Chains A and B, each alone.
Chain A
Amino acid sequence: MTSPTFDVVIIGAGIVGSACAAECINEGLKTAIVEAKIIGGGATAAGMGHLVVMDDSEAQFALTSYSCKLWSELKEDLPPSIEYEPCGTIWVAADDEEMAEVRRKEKYYTERGVPVQLLDAKALHEAEPNLRSGLAGGLHVPNDCVIYPPCAAKFFVDRAVLNGAKLILGKKVKNIQKDGVRIDDDTFLSSGLVVNATGSWSPLLTSGIDVKKRKGHLLITDRYPDFVKHQLVELGYLKSAHSVTDDSVAFNIQPRKTGQMLIGSSRQYGVESSQIDTPILRRMLNRAIEYMPDLVNLSSIRTWTGFRAATPDKLPLIGPDVLNSKLYLATGHEGLGITTSLGTAKLLVDQIVGRSPSIPVGPYLPARVSELSHA
């Protein structure tokens, strides 16, 4: 029997697939990465690029904080195109109930060694004068950052290619087989392992996995330097993000290095069309204006949509598929794929080479939802 051409073929050059490619090459694996369209062109280009520690669950905290640490270790290597900006996050509390959540969050992060700072109403106003008055306060997480994700994906792919990875661009994978993948010009890439990193499209290649599209809208403004200084997210965001049935919006604004601002966010299930949904966009912007009234005087230059790859338990799928042990999944990152791409790449390669990972992988293994996915 001849040995396969590759050790690993990764499908999808979004930020997750790209980071996985760089990590596989780093490990000395013969790696190919196949991208049907362009590098970092899907959810990677549509999202905000917020590197954020989140605490919806212990497993989410573990993966996001591990990943943020990896980003921090990498920051000296990142080219200027990635626009790495350590602006921090402020979770904004509108009322006393949300302020109680701020205190819970403060305790949770502090106990786990993530620096945070509690802001009362006055401190919040001083930190972000364009927020409306009357807000209760907030939680400042100074180590959170912002990047421009498509360039980060490109950086990882370039790094992988420079070290010997094969990039196959503009070819769609027809199907995944036991010993490799068939691409649309009928070429067969033989490989020991295959990684499906195609985000919200991943069920098209691996039927039965429970990854659903969750549509989002974003808007970018013209340049207004210093209008916003931190990534601001309303704590009500958690209510929005947790709802798995209804359409929802939440105030989320991000300063870019250019002085532009990204304004979000919206969440919709069961929508396939990428068109702008005007009523949702209006709700989203009205929500933003409730928090920052002076936004009405600013100009936007573009709006767009994207699709998050959502799983039922809000955690990604990282590890072997339950039906095909030579197929690994690296998908289902929902709104956190930019942050968790680096942790995902490490955990994937740890599993591939049989090394003990830095954080427990159990919560992310596809097998955890096998009773759902392959029922």
Chain B
Amino acid sequence: MPEEVVVVVDGVLVRMPVGSMVSAAIMTAGVSSFRRSVSGEARGLLCGMGICFECRVTIDLQPHCRSCQTVCQNGMDIRTCE
């Protein structure tokens, strides 16, 4: 068994292998709409490599974090627009 971390996605506990990206945890939690555009459209994981900024979420109360570039840490509080 690989070592695991536990994060919280929109209030739900999610277990992830150590080294997983926050974006993977959000997908694992079954959330596909990560944030809303200015006009209210759903936005989610697109480039997966830190370029497009579409997958931004709030991590530990810090808004606009790129979930595809942030590694899951135990107890991390991740909030999408859902």
Contacts and interface: CB of A to CB of B under 8 A. Distances in A.
B38 A224 contact: no
A222 B57 CA distance: 13
Using C-beta atoms within 8 Å of the partner chain, give the interface range for chain A. under 10
Interface residues of B, number: 4
Kindly name the residue among A224, A258, A297, A299 whose own CB sees the greatest number of chain B CB atoms within 10 A: A299
Nearest to B38: A258
A297 B62 contact: yes
B64 A222 contact: yes
Contacts of A297: 62
B65 to A, nearest CB: 9
Contacts of B64: 222-224, 298-299
Nearest to B63: A224
Interface in A211-269: 222-224, 258
A224 B56 CA distance: 13
A274 to B, nearest CB: 25
Kindly name the residue among B38, B62, B64 whose own CB sees the greatest number of chain A CB atoms within 10 A: B64
Contacts of A298: 64
Contacts of A258: 38
A364 to B, nearest CB: 40
A195 to B, nearest CB: 37
Interface string B29-68: 0000000001000000000000000000000001110000
B24 to A, nearest CB: 22
A222 B37 CA distance: 12
A299 B53 CA distance: 11
Nearest to B62: A297
A130 to B, nearest CB: 14
A224 B38 CA distance: 13
A224 B61 CA distance: 12
Interface string A289-301: 0000000011100
Nearest to B65: A299
B12 to A, nearest CB: 26
Interface of B: 38, 62-64
Given A224-B64, A298-B64, 8 more contacts: A222-B63, A222-B64, A223-B63, A223-B64, A224-B63, A258-B38, A297-B62, A299-B64
The 6 closest A-B pairs by CB, nearest first: A222-B64, A299-B64, A297-B62, A224-B63, A258-B38, A223-B64
10 contacts: A222-B63, A222-B64, A223-B63, A223-B64, A224-B63, A224-B64, A258-B38, A297-B62, A298-B64, A299-B64
